[in-house]
Structures are given as C-alpha cells and as structure tokens.
Amino acid sequence: MPSENKLLRLFSWNVNGLRAILTKGFEDYFKECDADFFCLQETKMQEGQATLDFPGYEVYWNYAEKKGYSGTAIITRHHPISVRQGIGRGEHDTEGRVITLEYEKFYLVTVYTPNSQNELKRLPYRMEWEEAFREYVMSLDVVKPVVICGDLNVAHNEIDLKNPKANRKNAGFTDEERNAFTVLLESGFADTFRELNPETQTFSWWSYRFSARAKNAGWRIDYFLVSRRIMDAVSSAEIHTAVLGSDHCPVSIELNL
C-alpha cells in the first residue's frame, strides 16, 4: 500500500454460508461495493469448496476443523506485510474465527466471536475467549493501530436491539457479554458506528423466526472497531440493512489512513 494517506473502503459481512450466498448475488454485490477490504464471517466451508475469483484481489482464509462450521475470509486489494490465522492460542484456534492482515499503518482483524448458545451453555468458554481476544488485539495495538471487524455476537446497549427487556439474559445480551465488550472498548478501542451515530437505532442481524426482519425486530451485533487514536480517520460508518442473502447484513466504514 502507498505510504501517503488513502481513503479505504472496508466492508464486513456474516454471510451465514458462503456457498449459499454465492447463489444469491454475492459476486454482483461485491463488485458494486468497490471495496479495498471485504471481510467475511461464518463461511461454513473447507478449503477448495468454493473459489472467489475477483481480478485485482487476493483472498485469505481461515477454516474451522469442524466441517460446515464457522470460518472467516478477507478479500483484499492490498497485499499484506504478514498474515496470521487465529490468535496464537491453541484452545481458541480450531474454529477458524480470526484472520489478521498487517499493513504499514495498521492491522486489520476480522473475527467471528463464539455464540454463547441456548441456555448459555457456552458462556463460560465465551468469557475465556473474550479475555484472550482482548489480550491479542491489545498486543497488536502496542505496535500500530488496529481495525477490528466482524460478528461480535453481542448487542452492547439497549439501543442495539429491538427488545432489550425480553432478551436481558439471552445469548448476545447477557451482562457478562456486554461487560466484556465495555472492557474491550475501555482498552483503547472505539465503536465506529455508535461514535458517528450516537442516537441511531439500526440493526445488522434478524432471526429467521417470527418474521423478525420484516418487523425489523433485530440486533446490532456486527461491528467495526478501531484503535481510539485513529477514530478521527473514520469518515463514515454504515449498516446496509437493505442487502439480503443472509440473516446478517453488511456493515462498512471509510477510513482515511
């Protein structure tokens, strides 16, 4: 990447199965976005099960050991200095949840945070993950600024979901998960959408049940976070609610860095 400042367009989308969304117009949408970086979560595939051929782009993958589960990818116009799959912790690196690309001025991290699941049966593991992931991105932030994007599987505040009272102790809106997100922000990161849109209630995920999307009974659980010291370089943060094909919609930022 050139050393002078450049306006970068970054997108992130939990596609809930890449092979499925490739049949629903993903390639056309990708071309329309004209993105510098397009990060994907929940690709649900193994190596060789799908190919993405976009001239001028490179693709980096992290696959889960379990077939048809989790997985992440980054499609980029910019060849990185280095690439890391995972966070360097064996107990957390079997599900393909993190990819880090290093550039001259920043790290780009895409993440698919574990869901605490029904009856919160995976909440204890989720809390271990939260601390390990926070330590990882803080170690990067010591070196250079970090851009974190992906499905973080938490609605941080009541404004971030349609029915907060009914969901108070459900996965994605427990006190433990919300507090962990607060601690992450307090460790030096900014929630770009909320910083630029402090009073706006917009969602990025809707359950497939109960016609939730038609009723806009959703949650904002997909994020772009940046190191606090580069928040001023973020000129826009958007949630593309009209884009269909998954139970999530894409989110994006523009970054002058």
Q: What tokens does 59 get? A: 């693709």
- Determine whether 151 is an active site residue: yes
Give the helix/strand (H/E) hosting 27. helix 26-33
* Separation between Cα atoms, residue 228 and residue 186, nearest integer Å: 9
> φ and ψ at 243, to 5 degrees?
-85, 120
Q: Which of 29, 36, 107, 151 is catalytic?
A: 151
- Determine whether 141 is an active site residue: no
* Separation between Cα atoms, residue 224 and residue 146, nearest integer Å: 10
Q: Which amino acid is at 39?
A: C
Residue pair 154/113 in contact (Cβ under 8 Å)? The answer is yes
For 82, counting Cβ atoms within 10 Å of its Cβ (0-12 exposed, 13-18 middle, 19+ buried), the class is: exposed
77 closest CA partner among 100, 105, 54 = 54
Q: What tokens does 257 get? A: 């860095």
Q: Which residues pair with 256 in a beta bridge?
A: 7
Query: Would you put residue 174 in left (φ > 0), alpha (ψ -120 to 50) or beta?
Result: beta
Q: Quickly tell me which residue has 């910019």 as its tokens.
A: 78
How many CA atoms within 13 Å lie on the side-chain side of 22? 12
Q: Which of 112, 160, 191, 222 is catalytic?
A: 112
110 closest CA partner among 34, 255, 11, 219 = 11
Residues with catalytic roles:
112, 151
